[in-house]
Amino acid sequence: MSSTSLGPRRKPSRKGSMADVPKDMLQEIKKLEDMFTVDTAKLKAICDHFIKELAKGLTVEGGSIPMNPTWCMGFPTGNETGTFLALDMGGTNLRVCEINLPEEKGEFDIIQSKYRMPEELKTGNADELWAYIADCLQQFIEYHHEGEKLDKLPLGFTFSYPATQEYIDHGILQRWTKGFDIDGVEGKDVVPPFEEALEERGVPIKLTALINDTTGTLIASSYTDQEMKIGCIFGTGCNAAYMETCGNIPKLAHMNIPADQEIAINCEWGAFDNEHKILPRTPYDVIIDKDSPRPGQQAFEKMIAGLYLGELFRLVLVDLHEQKHVKFFEGQDIASLRKPYSLDASFLSDIENDPYENLQETHDVFASKMNIKCSKPELELIRRLAELIGTRSARLSACGVAAICKKMNYKTCHVGADGSVFNKYPHFKARGAQALKELLDWETGRDGKPLGRGHDPVEILPAEDGSGVGAALIAALTLKRVQEGNVMGIRDPEGMLKGTAAAKSGNKQVAPETKK
């Protein structure tokens, strides 16, 4: 019987493409699958350990996850009103926003400007840094409020560098990150020099809250969607924030805060499992840690964050090439692949997004970027490796989300997520949702509906703008607390109100109760 009578040949699925891969290469793929796959049982074991570590971070003794109290006390109601500024000091830009919270619940209007952060400032001196930031704020005010007589505008400052805070209006920088290395700032409170620079220029601004972007993500997201209970960042780094009750925080017991008082906790969960007790580290993860600027720190982050995904991928490829029996990139010069951190997460995204059956785009990018000519079996391994690393990142990320849900007994909630990996990495959202289903043992969705988008009991959704809107909202909530006489974790409550619209008699600028 001639083969033509069998009808057209079915186009092989991507899975079926392995048919052309020689046996020894298939064995290498199988080894990688065994190494990078995290099954349901392992996910659950990691989650159980994560819950214990979150609780440990809240004790007096502490643990490897810092669990920093932020002094942002409680969620917004959606009825906050007034005009607030937000300042976001990132690695490349300085962003200034003015946010107006109108009468409508959960709404906001925003105007913003970006200023470049000059490279020389990052290694200059502290006075120059604060002077530059104050100049940008002055420019912003002059441009948007020319000739107006202004009350002092309350400012939320997103300062996303590791800092310890005993008060919401102060913060001691623990260490610089993101390429900053300015002498004389580490170990000191960043607020007084910042305020002095504003004072010198007569800029009508009062720093009300110093916040971390993850806490801002939590608050901004819950302002527009009251089901949001957790804020996460899955980007170059990783982190989460959630609302805890003070009764569950032994390290704050000496302050005699009411047990049911809510306070946002900035987990800094990249440090989970620094003791290497539970995470399934491969030999490649061990190398990444050993060669990093801070070995032994940020164990969780090094397995899931965007900064490290491309490097993991690169290390595996170099190792395969060096195992002569594997015959990977055999006889080729792989010098361009030997440069540490030369591949980033977007390189993996592109491989996973390659739509062609023969992985033509991947073939072309290896040829043009690295001068390496890949065979069909090599391309299949490359694609599978990218899938394995991307999938592991999403599945491990879900362990942290599930741990907070279990700790707080959230059966249903929304999680607001931001960051380049969450927003841009292919299938990250779907893989995370699948892992949550396994971790939390879901059979059906909300109201008995089938599981899937919109019906999963816990859903990770794109967050609201944390470093802008979130910072402004936390300034609003802090001012409202001062008006109500609830001044826990505020260093200078009187100074905070002075000269602002909220200080004017009877003007409860940010108190929703006074709404008609």
Bridge-based pairing of strands 262-266 and 238-245 is antiparallel
What pLDDT score was predicted for residue 17? Answer: 67
Q: Cα angle vertex 393, ends 389, 398, to 5°?
A: 150
Contact (CB, 8 A) for 449 and 180: no
Question: What mean pLDDT is reported for the chain?
Answer: 91
pLDDT (0 to 100) of residue 293: 83
Give mean pLDDT, residues 416-441.
96
What token pair was written down for 511?
């108190």
Task: Give tens-digit pLDDT for 179-209.
Answer: 788 999 999 999 999 999 999 999 999 999 9
pLDDT digits (tens, 9 = 90+) for 151-187: 899 999 999 888 889 999 999 998 887 778 899 999 9
CA 150 to chain CA mean position, Å: 35
- For the ranges 22-26, 130-134, 167-171, 473-477, the lowest mean pLDDT is seen at 22-26
Confidence band (pLDDT; 50, 70, 90) for 14? low
pLDDT > 70: percent of the chain: 94
The confidence score (pLDDT) of residue 516 equals 30
Helix (H, G, I), strand (E, B) or coil at 225: coil
pLDDT for residue 15: 54
Which residues touch 443 (CB under 8 Å, ≥6 apart)?
none
Determine which of 4-13, 172-181, 240-249, 326-335 has the lowest per-residue pLDDT on average: 4-13
Q: Estimate to the nearest angstrom the gap between the alpha carbon of 11 and the chain centroid.
A: 40
* Span 257-279, average pLDDT: 96
Tell me whether strands 413-418 and 228-234 are parallel, antiparallel or unpaired: parallel
Residues 88-106 as b or e (16 or more Cβ within 10 Å = b)? bbeeeebbbbbbebeeeeb
Is pLDDT of 406 > 70? yes
Helix axes 360-370, 345-353, angle to 10 degrees: 150
Nearest in space to 56 (alpha carbons), one of 269, 332, 330, 240: 269
The residue among 474 and 180 whose pLDDT is bigger is 474
Q: Which positions are catalytic?
A: 160, 175, 213
Look at residue 148 in the predicted model and tell me its pLDDT: 87
Distance between the two ends of the chain, CA-based, in angstroms? 85
Contact 213, 159 (CB under 8 A): no
User: What is residue 272's predicted lDDT score, i.e. its pLDDT?
Assistant: 97
- pLDDT surpasses 50 at 10: no
501 closest CA partner among 249, 194, 139, 149: 149
User: What pLDDT is recorded for position 177?
Assistant: 79
Give mean pLDDT, residues 103-112: 91
pLDDT of 426 higher than 60:
yes
Element (H, E) at 345: helix 345-353
pLDDT (mean) for 492-509: 72
Q: How confident is the model at residue 11 (pLDDT cuts 50, 70, 90)?
A: very low
Amino acid at 361: E
Residue 442 is predicted with a pLDDT of 94
pLDDT of residue 510: 46
What is the pLDDT averaged over residues 278-298?
A: 94
Burial of residue 294 (CB within 10 Å: 0-12, 13-18, 19+) is: exposed
3-class state of residue 228 by DSSP: strand
More confident residue, 178 or 235: 235
The beta-carbon contacts of 31-37 under 8 Å, at least 24 apart in sequence, are: 32/316, 32/381, 32/384, 32/385, 32/388, 33/384, 33/388, 35/282, 36/282, 36/385, 36/388, 36/389, 36/391, 36/392, 37/388, 37/391, 37/392
d(CA 337, CA 507): 63
Nearest to residue 348, comparing CAs of 399, 318, 384? 384
Is the pLDDT at 265 greater than 60? The verdict is: yes
Mean pLDDT of 311-320: 97
pLDDT average, residue stretch 310-314: 97
Residue 514 has pLDDT above 50, yes or no: no
pLDDT for residue 73 is more than 70: yes
pLDDT of residue 12: 42
Q: What is the DSSP code (8-state) at residue 152?
A: B
pLDDT score for 285 = 98
Tens-place pLDDT, residues 341-356: 999 999 999 999 999 9
Encode pLDDT of 44-68 as tens digits: 999 999 999 999 999 999 999 999 9
114-123, 187-196, 335-344, 408-417: least confident range: 114-123
What is the model's pLDDT at position 280?
A: 98
Burial label for 205, CB within 10 Å (0-12, 13-18, 19+), is: buried
**Residue 297 reports pLDDT greater than 80:** yes
Instruction: Taking residues 230-245, report their average pLDDT.
Output: 95
The mean pLDDT of 277-286, rounded to a whole number, is 98
